[in-house]
């Protein structure tokens, strides 16, 4: 019996995904565990593995199409089985969103059907993407906003809508070349703005070229940016944050790293040192390695430290596990592999979720000091600034020059009291200034 194949949540925060490619084609025999397609989530590109067996009878959401979690993306069943009834049911559920080709075929097929001679008592509600195209604005009066077919009444394929949003192109300015003037992928790719009007961002600008001077840009909030906004807002407005600041002399850490790297072919990063030294401080202050759970506080046995990585279009936090029981070289090897996966969009959910403590380091950007928002489920995040040569007062009262880095610890007051946070930060400062303390 034919069955629907739904889009499943491939990451904890996923609400919808984009199918970047199908590994199987219609007519293929599928076994449980076979890769059906690749899906781009809010965090990474991931393989969708089948949980059902049968023949792939119909692909509902084609390459480049978006699907909400739970929405049907394909139909599996027995070879030769009729799927028309199931396809009708899916269409009624509003589970479209396939490729340009599939959309064009559907429209062409609909065109061949004769129109009814008499209108029904109440006109049937048109799908958003099939509503009548409104009159296009005169050149020079439109905004640069990229509209979706779901709320603009403009006829456009889902892939065209997606590309327009990515390139910040106003669909009202685009002339469609598909059936009945429908805007398709090639129309977005060939769009170069409206002569004499307020400039739209062209394909060249979207791919890194210069945006015309004076042009407004409205960037759709979706994907990673939408998730970052939602999660961090929840953290900031739910967890009562407070902040503790101190400075640390980095001379000993820099010397220790230099000594270690002289004996290695692959140099260990400074972030690996930070992770290890933070883990050692957490071992002595386990109440900071904890999480608020509403009616209880969970104090974690494993020290799993996340480090924020900038992907250009948002942040992701790869997590190095069990840092308290690992050496710096081992931590660095794991960290470099995770960062590589993050930049390639290949991190698995278990590799970027569940950090019990987080580090955000903006020192490489010259930032001297900042505060960071706690990354749940952890209850603290450490913000690290740049190391600067700074005048310092030596123990004998003389003035010297120190290599000073400022640290700011953000804490959730529900879990970590001020004194507890202060003790941890003081321990970390001492450990960084005297790394030999890790063997005490």
Residues catalogued as catalytic: 413, 417
Q: What is the dihedral of CA 42, 319, 353, 44, to 10 degrees?
A: 20
Local structure of residue 183 (DSSP, 8 states): B
List CB contacts of 362: < 8 A, sequence separation 6 or more: 370, 383, 384, 385, 386
CA distance 23 to 359: 38
> 333 and 341 in contact (C-beta within 8 Å)?
no
3-state SS class at 57: strand
Q: Is the dihedral of CA 279, 283, 285, 289 positive or negative?
A: positive
SS3 content of the chain, % helix, strand, coil (to 5): 35, 20, 45
Give the pairing of strands 66-68 and 29-30. Answer: unpaired
Whether residue 209 contacts residue 215, with contact meaning beta carbons closer than 8 Å, is answered with no
Task: Say which DSSP state 174 is in.
Answer: P
Helix axes 418-433, 251-261, angle to 10 degrees: 50
Burial 244-260 (b: 16+ CB within 10 A, else e): beebbbbebbeebbeeb
9: which strand partners? none
Token code pair at residue 96: 């479209």
CA angle 257, 287, 347 (to 5 degrees): 60
Kindly report the number of other CB atoms within 10 A of residue 279's CB atom. Answer: 23
CB atoms within 10 A of CB 1: 8
Omega before 64 within 30 of 0, i.e. cis:
no
> Angle formed by the axes of helices 251-261 and 270-284, to 10°?
120
Neighbours of 95 (CB within 10 A): 21
Please report how many Cα atoms fall inside a 13 Å half-sphere around the Cα of residue 128, on the Cβ side.
13
Q: What is the dihedral of CA 47, 66, 162, 11, to 10 degrees?
A: -50
């Amino acid at each position: 019996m034919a069955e629907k194949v739904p889009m499943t949540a491939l990451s904890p925060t996923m609400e919808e995904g984009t199918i970047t490619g199908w590994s199987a084609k219609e007519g293929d025999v599928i076994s449980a565990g076979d890769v059906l397609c690749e899906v781009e989530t809010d965090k990474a590109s991931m393989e969708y593995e089948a949980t059902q067996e049968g023949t792939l009878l119909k692909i509902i959401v084609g390459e480049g199409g978006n699907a909400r979690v739970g929405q049907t993306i394909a139909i599996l069943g027995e070879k030769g089985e009729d799927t028309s009834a199931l396809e009708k049911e899916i269409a009624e559920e509003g589970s479209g969103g396939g490729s340009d080709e599939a959309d064009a075929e559907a429209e062409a097929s609909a065109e061949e059907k004769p129109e009814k001679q008499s209108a029904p008592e109440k006109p049937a509600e048109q799908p958003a993407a099939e509503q009548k195209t409104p009159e296009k604005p005169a050149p020079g009066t439109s905004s640069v906003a990229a509209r979706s077919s779901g709320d603009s009444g403009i006829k456009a394929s889902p892939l065209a809508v997606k590309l327009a949003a990515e390139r910040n192109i106003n669909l009202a300015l685009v002339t469609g070349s598909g059936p009945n003037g429908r805007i398709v992928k090639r129309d977005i790719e060939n769009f170069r703005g409206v002569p004499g009007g307020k400039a739209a961002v062209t394909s060249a600008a979207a791919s890194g070229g210069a945006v015309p001077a004076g042009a407004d840009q409205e960037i759709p909030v979706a994907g990673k940016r939408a998730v970052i906004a939602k999660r961090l807002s929840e953290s900031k407005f739910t967890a009562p944050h407070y902040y503790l600041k101190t400075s640390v002399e980095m001379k000993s850490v820099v010397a220790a790293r230099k000594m270690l790297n002289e004996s290695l072919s692959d140099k260990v990063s400074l972030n690996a040192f930070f992770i290890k030294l933070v883990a050692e401080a957490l071992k002595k202050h386990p109440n900071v390695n904890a999480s608020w759970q509403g009616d209880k506080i969970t104090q974690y046995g494993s020290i799993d430290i996340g480090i924020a990585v900038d992907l250009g279009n948002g942040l992701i936090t790869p997590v190095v596990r069990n840092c308290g029981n690992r050496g710096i070289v081992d931590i660095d090897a794991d960290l470099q592999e995770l960062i590589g996966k993050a930049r390639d969009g290949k991190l698995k959910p278990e590799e970027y979720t569940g950090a019990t403590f987080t580090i955000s380091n903006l020192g490489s950007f010259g930032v001297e000091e900042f505060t960071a928002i706690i990354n749940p489920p952890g209850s603290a995040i450490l913000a690290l600034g740049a190391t600067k040569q700074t005048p310092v007062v030596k123990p004998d009262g003389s003035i010297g020059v120190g290599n000073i880095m400022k640290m700011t610890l953000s804490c959730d007051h529900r879990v970590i009291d001020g004194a507890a946070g202060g003790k941890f930060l003081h321990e970390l400062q001492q450990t960084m200034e005297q790394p030999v303390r890790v063997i005490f």
